[in-house]
Structure 1
Amino acid sequence: MKKSITTYCFTKLIVLSFLLLSGIKMYSQEQETINEVTLIKIDSLYREDQFFFSFTYNTLQSKPSGLSQDKFSTGFSMGFLRDMPIKKDRTIAIATGLGLTYNNYIQNLAITGTNQDAVYAIIDSDYNKNKFSQFLVDVPIEFRWRTSTYESHKFWRIYGGVKFSYLLNDRSLLNDSSGKNIIKGNKDFNKFLYGVYASVGYNTVNVYAYYGLNSMFKSASIADKNIDMKALNIGLVFYIL
């Protein structure tokens, strides 16, 4: 009887040990599988989708004779870019998205008359304020090179591409001794603008530059000479994941 009890206890101990070892092995295998799946999932979904904000100093190129910018003209942009890697290690990608831009240009090109029949002239210093501003919707398409990995979002980058913009709203203001003259929706402004841009930097803060490839005006002139000004905007762009 005593031998039978001993045999029973020994058999039970073996069974419990087997179940315990099997459970540990299964847990270990499950944990390894979860870790592998997690790593694969993170790597396969790794993208640099980003919100961006930029602040720029705005200058005018190909200016008419006598036109000057004697005050600081500013611009602001914001938007979102969708990242699409084209290389296995995801250091090269293309991206596109949607953005909004507000640009302000302070200069001495007076715009008077009406939005359907505007008159342009270079004026002297006898005025309080003279500027025009534009509000645009942007569609950027860019090529991306970076040193990022899925483990770190702090990296060097060189991004560049083409930006297409549509003019939603414009406003010109001349404030001189005769009072304020404001024009909105000037038909002489180009509704469709495009240019090239680049941003270079590390982590969140990057140097940014945009150069317009077509004229800001489509039908404006001074003394029968067309105004063919283009934008050059330089500043900083901030990327936020």
Structure 2
Amino acid sequence: MQRIILYISIAIMSISTKLIAQETKSFEQQAKEIAKNIRTIAQEEKKALKEEVEAIDKAVQDGTMTKEQAEKTKAKIAEERAKNIETKIATEEEKLRELINGNLTLETKNDTVTTQNVFSIKKAKLVNKGEKRTTSQFVFATGFNNLVTNGAIANSDFGYLRSTFYEWGVTWNTRLSNNSNLLHLKYGLGFQYNILHATDNRIFEDTGDQTVLTTYPIDLKDNKTYFKNVYFVLPVHLEFDFSKTNEKDGKKIFKSHKAARFGIGGFVGVNTNSKQFLRYEIDGKKIKERTKADFNVNDFTYGLSAYVGYKQTSLYLKYDLNPMFKNNAIDQNNVSLGIRFDWN
């Protein structure tokens, strides 16, 4: 337990250092922009697919295409659109990784004052209006990631500062009481990306029944060599929100995410893919390798998570109750600690 507390303390100090080195607002703006790009990509591709399917249905009605041809064509274009989404979102995922590692340049926009003025006008108009009982948020979280081995994180096989995670998704927040703003049920869906950078020039190797770390014969680029698991998850939290409840004309006005709050709960999910990325040089040539396989990773995940913070920003902790690999001799459970943003 003392080792876990030590690890959490080190992680909190590291997060604080990163926050001092870069403005939180600038980080938040860039994260929002990347999230918006991801949503736009999915919306555009789905819209294009819908239009193509409608054109095929019309062709069937006009008699220029048989139903069998239409079904085959629909399956083909659906696969193409899915590949388009995966390819385009991969670019945005790389931007997120670079942002997390502090490699993106923080930008200041010339229209900041104008934007703030617009928001202040909107807030002035809504000052006397409360929220609906159920609101929605876009959630983005990022921080450090590692594996708990034999109940400890000390002497880990993975770099503490290089191993990271990020998570994004949509949540719905429902106030549970008619007369109190304290208790909320928060539930949603999203994606978790757990990334591990092994130390000592090692990589994961599938030996058939187990997945173990082995030394690679060529010198690897530490920051560009990593193992990534992606999960589609359904999180549920009981949230305690201490936002002030106002009253006007005898009517209570409720607003959330305006003060201190904390949530406790968990998540269940399914593994969508596991990939290992290698980067090295041979005779001056830069080599990149990407291997997509199951690596004996558990198909499903479930765990506990909690957050505590103020307004939209929180300290976030999540822990997988099931081991990452199916049949390894020693169970290793994923644990993550970082910061989380809930944008109404």
Residue in structure 2 matched with residue 199 of structure 1 by the alignment: 307
Change (3 A) 1:153 1:68: closer
What amino acid maps onto 1:206 in structure 2? S
What amino acid maps onto 1:230 in structure 2? N
Residue in structure 1 matched with residue 138 of structure 2 by the alignment: 51
User: Any residues of structure 2 matched to 1:1-241 within 5 Å, and which?
Assistant: 45-62=132-149, 68-70=157-159, 72-88=162-178, 89-108=180-199, 110-112=203-205, 120-123=212-215, 127-128=219-220, 129=222, 130-148=225-243, 149=245, 150-151=254-255, 153-174=257-278, 182-220=290-328, 226-241=329-344
Per-residue CA deviation, residues 173-194 of structure 1 (Å, 9 max, x unaligned), is 4557898764312250001011
Q: 2:183 and 2:255 mapped to 1: Cα distance?
A: 16
Aligned partner of residue 127 in structure 1, secondary structure: coil
**How many aligned positions are there?**
196
CA contact (8 A) 1:74 1:103 kept: yes
CA contact (8 A) 1:167 1:190 kept: yes
Percent identity for Structure 1 against Structure 2:
24
Structure 1: gaps spanning 5 or more residues: 1-41, 221-225
Give 1 or 2: higher strand fraction: 1
User: Could you tell me the TM-score, scaled by structure 1's length?
Assistant: 0.69
What amino acid maps onto 2:203 in structure 1? A
User: Could you tell me the TM-score, scaled by structure 2's length?
Assistant: 0.50
Structure 2: gaps spanning 5 or more residues: 1-128, 246-253
Q: 2:209 and 2:292 mapped to 1: Cα distance?
A: 12
Residue 99 (structure 1) shift: 0.5
Residue 66 (structure 1) shift: 7.6
Give 1 or 2: higher helix fraction: 2
Residue 143 (structure 1) shift: 0.6
Query: Which has the larger Rg?
Result: 1
Change (3 A) 1:118 1:203: same
